[in-house]
Every structure is written in structure tokens, then in C-alpha cells.
Structure 1
Amino acid sequence: MSDPYNRESELKERFNRFVADKITGNPEDYYSKLSVDDFEDLKTTLRDIHNIITYRTTIRFIEWVSEHFPYVRENYKVYLDQVLNTKPSENGYDLVVTGDINVIAEIKCNKPIMNGFKFGAQQKTGLIKDIYGLLVGKTKVKSIKPAEAFKFLVIYDFGDHTLLAAQHLIKNLSADLKDKVLLYKEESVLDLDKVYIVFIK
């Protein structure tokens, strides 16, 4: 006969396994060492996880842009510093390049819901808002005109689910956007009138 379900045992096992596997490498009972106040502090700290993922993806995208545009490669530190000095709450683009070439980019780290093949309603709303922002501009951004910039919607690559979710998003865009959003391909000839979706790992 199997043991009855024990909620705390399950929570403890999952928490301890995660900490040991991902952080310490040592299997210990971390759960029992933490008070409710400690867990609340941990919860507060973990609110920054999304910002950490976005930051790392942005850095990877700067590297990607550097590989595709010599001007950015020559001025890499300028754009790295731009990202380092931008607060997560600021309402501009996640990356702005001006000079020999102009680039604007929004970075998204949306994982398709339930490990499925489409984005959730709120995720989709946010993505479409960013697409419009790339195409027509943002009221708080005066330093660059979208019509004069290459536009990228950068999505963290969670694998095939991300590709299929992006394809589903494009397929279901409104008529005014459907022909303006494309998946980036290496052979793509960039068009200033389009938003290119780039997957970054």
C-alpha cells in the first residue's frame, strides 16, 4: 500500500532538488533551514528573474547584431554600456543603435503557455504592442525614427515550442500587421518596413 500524499514532503523534495541540481550541487535539506520570512525574501528576489533573463538575452542579441553589422561590432562597448545603464522599468526600446545603421529592438522572454505551441493571451497582447511600437514608435522615444531603422522583435528561444508559437502569432495577426512581421532568416534582405523576429538562445 502506498504512503498517503504529504504536501510538505512534496514541496520539500522539489525545492531541495532544484537548489541542489541548479545552484549548490550538494543534496541537503535547504527547505528546513528556511523560515517563512526567508521564503518571502526569496520570493521577492525571484521577481527579478524575468529581468535577468531579459538582460542576458539582450546581451546575446548585441553579439548577434555585432556579427551582422560591422558598425555595431566597431562600437560594441557603446551599446553594451547602453544596456548596462538602462533600468528595467524604462519605457524605451531594449536596444537602440544609431549611426551608420539604425536598429531598434524589443526583447521578449515569453515561454509558450503550458509548454504548448502558442503564446497566452497576455503574452500575445504584449508582443503585438511591441510590434506596433517598433513600427510606429513610442511617445517617450524621440531619439530615433522607426521608419529609418531596422526593427527586431527578439524572442528567447525555448526550442521548437517558441518557433511554432511565433508562427502561430504571425498567422493570426490582424490584416494591418500580417505582412509586416517576418521570421528572420540568414538570407533575408532587410526591409525598413518590416519587423523581423529573431530567436536568441
Structure 2
Amino acid sequence: MQYHREEELKNRLNNFFITQFSLPEDDYYSRLDSEKIISLKKALSDINNLITMKITISFVNWITKKFNLSQESEEKIINEILSTKPSTNGYDIVSDEIVKLIAEVKCNIPINAGKKYGSAQRNGITKDLNNLLYGKTKSKFDTNEYLKFMVFLENESVRSANQHYIHLSKEFREKLIVVDEKTIFDRKDCVYLIHINFIN
């Protein structure tokens, strides 16, 4: 059967609505006029920010348990996150609560459901690693006294892409530690890569 682009897109969109939202089987695609498609595009454009926010809050829950932060400290960090606009410059998390740490949160998903990042994704990760290790350009913030984290979504493809990135990276290979249950957080000259599940 010959490939038909519109049929493929229609089937994928309908299947998404039916399976992800438990909607009855129907042709939802046929109901989308140009205004509805634009509205859908606007809503979906915030997905990256939503994923980043969810991962960030999950990471705060994790550091609260790992470093025995008080509930008050946890709430303070979360309030700072929720009151910061997504496009704001700076690190995603800066905390001086008991333990000094900074974190960049990445919502990267390997392109085409693969196990490797695209070049733009790799460049973004490299830039953020440099910022964590050496500070941001035009910023007086000194990262040397902070534990440094790069936070990713817990996902098999993401883990594979991160391993591939580490394998290819001569610059950072010795400065990246993938966090597991046995990891000891006693180095400030490296970046701890951690994979975190969402919380609702």
C-alpha cells in the first residue's frame, strides 16, 4: 500500500487521543480546523517547560531525602522554582540549604525515539556542563564550592543517549559521574548525572 502522509498523521493523532486520554474511537483529526490546530500547537509548545518543571520538583524531593533537608528548606527551593519564568537565565536550581548545590535540568529525549542525541541536543548539554563546571559567561557566580548536578528524565533511551554522549566526550568523560545507589557526593570538580522519575 502506497504511503500517504495525511493518513499517517491522522492515524497517529487519533491514536494518541484515544490511547492517552481513554477517549472513544473516533476521527478527532477531521474536527481540527486551522484555529484548533494553532491552539493545539500553542498548548504543546509548553511541553518542554512542563517536563522540565516536573523533573526539577522530583529532583528537589530527591535531594531533600538524600541530604536530609528540612520540609521548610524543600518548600523554599520549590517556591523559588515555581516563581521563576522558564526562560530566565541562571541555573535551574541553586541551593545553600545545608548542602551547597547547583543543577541544570534537561528534558532531552533522543531524536526519532533513538538512543543517541542529535547535534543540537549534544551542543546544549555541552554548554550546560561548561556552565556548571566553570561558571556562566558574564556571571560572577562561583561554582567551585557547589556540588553540581545535571538532571535527566528516567528513561531507557535517555540513559542510552547519555552513555553514548559520555563515551564520545573526551572533554568531560573524567568529570561526569552517573549517579547510582552507591554514589558518594564528595567531589566539587565534577558533574553528577542523575536520572529522575516524574512525580505528580
Q: Is the TM-score greater than 0.5? A: yes
TM-score normalized by structure 2?
Answer: 0.88
**SS in structure 2 at match of 1:12:** helix
Mapped to 1, the partners of 2:100 and 2:148 lie a distance apart of: 9
Give me the TM-score of the superposition, normalised by structure 1.
0.88
Task: Mark the runs of 5 or more structure 2 residues left unpaired by the alignment.
Answer: none
SS at match of 1:182: strand
Aligned counterpart for 1:65 among listed residues 63, 66, 72: 63
- 1:115-138 CA distances to partner (integer Å, 9 max, x unpaired)? 332211111111011111111112
Q: In the aligned structure 1, how far is the partner of 2:69 from the partner of 2:13?
A: 46
Aligned-residue sequence identity (percent) comes to 38
CA–CA separation in structure 2 for the residues paired with 1:72 and 1:140: 33
Q: Matches of 1:61 and 1:129 in 2, distance apart? A: 21
Q: Give 1:14 shift.
A: 2.1
- The question of 1:182 aligning with 2:184 is answered no
* SS of equivalent to 1:146: coil
Matches within 5 A, 1:185-196: 185-190=180-185, 191-196=187-192
Indicate the SS of the match to 2:195: strand
Equivalent position of 1:171 in the other structure: 167
Question: Which one of 93, 111, 114 corresponds to residue 113 of structure 1?
Answer: 111
The residue aligned with 1:150 is 147
Q: Which runs of 5+ in 1 are unaligned?
A: none
Residues 181 and 196, structure 1, Cα contact 8 Å, conserved in 2: yes
Q: Give the root-mean-square deviation of aligned CA atoms.
A: 2.0
**Which residue identity lines up with residue 154 of structure 2 in the other structure?**
D
Q: Residue 16 and residue 114 in structure 1: after superposition, are their counterparts in 2 closer, same or farther (change >3 A)? A: closer
Between Structure 1 and Structure 2, how many residues are aligned?
A: 196
Task: Note the C-alpha offset of 1:70.
Answer: 1.1
Q: Distance in 1 between matches of 2:42 and 2:76?
A: 32
Q: In the TM superposition, what whole-angstrom CA distance separates every residue of 1:124-170 from its partner, at most 9, and x where no partner exists?
A: 1110111111111124655x5311111001111221x2222212211
CA 168–5 in structure 1, closer or farther in 2 if over 3 Å, else same: closer
Q: Is the 8 A contact 1:170 1:182 kept in 2?
A: no
Q: Which amino acid aligns with 1:185?
A: D
